Amino acid sequence: MKTISENRCFDGVQGVYSHHSNATGCEMTFGLFLPAEAKDGPVPVLWYLSGLTCTHENAMTKSGAQAYAAEHGIALVFPDTSPRGEGVADHEDYDLGQGAGFYVNATQDPWAPHFQMWDYIAQELPDALGAAFAIDTERQSITGHSMGGHGALTLAMHMPERFRSVSAFAPIANPTQSDWGRKQLGAYLGADEQLWAAHDSSLLMRERGFDGSVLIDQGSSDQFLDLLRPEALSEAMAARRQPGTFRMQAGYDHSYWFVSTFMPDHIDFHAEALWA
């Protein structure tokens, strides 16, 4: 584990670290906020998964999450969105390749050697954090924005024993039926659409739901609504009678102004589950 930077932040520490990942076969960078309570022992952790084109830095610097996490004594993890570096496959389109890992384990060339983001987020990085920092791996929750909201929801529904709560900001909610999904899932997983279903939160919600509460915020003026398909997730939650809240926020778009506005609600939501 290499320390890139550490800064005092709301009486805690906002750090940036890198390490070699066996899952992705390259150096990975992540941000980690540890509240003041971490000096006395392990603290609960909230994962924040970012969206297309983002690195670990976007939410770390734009979401304002540290102030609210500090109030509740919660750590925040900001992973990168894909493998990067020399020899890692990329694409000229912004929504495929580096910066667009979609939180899946790729099976197709040229992506398979490095794009194993599911294993990295689900297992490798949690293990590394638990070994190196004052993180309570028995108390974890997860959230994310856009592509990261897709990742948060799919990971939570596949791993309810890992995550106590899940939320999302404007998630890519129905990727098997959207150009933000069909393109990427086809490239990473191949042509068999049955394999795609495991990474579609609307389909997973209908099939299994989540053993806990769910919070979704979606801006009504989001410029990507047709690609996100929030109505599919809302309908799936209603059909399953999933405990949770789905909110259409009037006038908000897809930006971090939207995310930062509702971040306090999401931190409060997760704190209640993490400290229960």
Q: List the catalytic residues.
A: 146, 222, 254
In the DSSP assignment, the letter for residue 199 is G
274 close to 46: Cβ distance less than 8 angstroms: yes
Q: Cβ-count burial of 121 within 10 angstroms (0-12 exposed, 13-18 middle, 19+ buried)?
A: buried
Residue 77's DSSP bridge partners are 32, 47
The pairing of beta strand 43-49 with beta strand 75-79: parallel
Three-class DSSP category at 125: helix
Tell me phi and psi for residue 80, to 5 degrees: -75, 170
Give which of 243, 102, 234 is closest to 175, Cα–Cα: 102
- Give Cα 234 to chain centroid, integer Å: 19
Element (H, E) at 228: helix 225-228
Tell me phi and psi for residue 82, to 5 degrees: -170, 165
Task: Quote the tokens at residue 135.
Answer: 């993180």
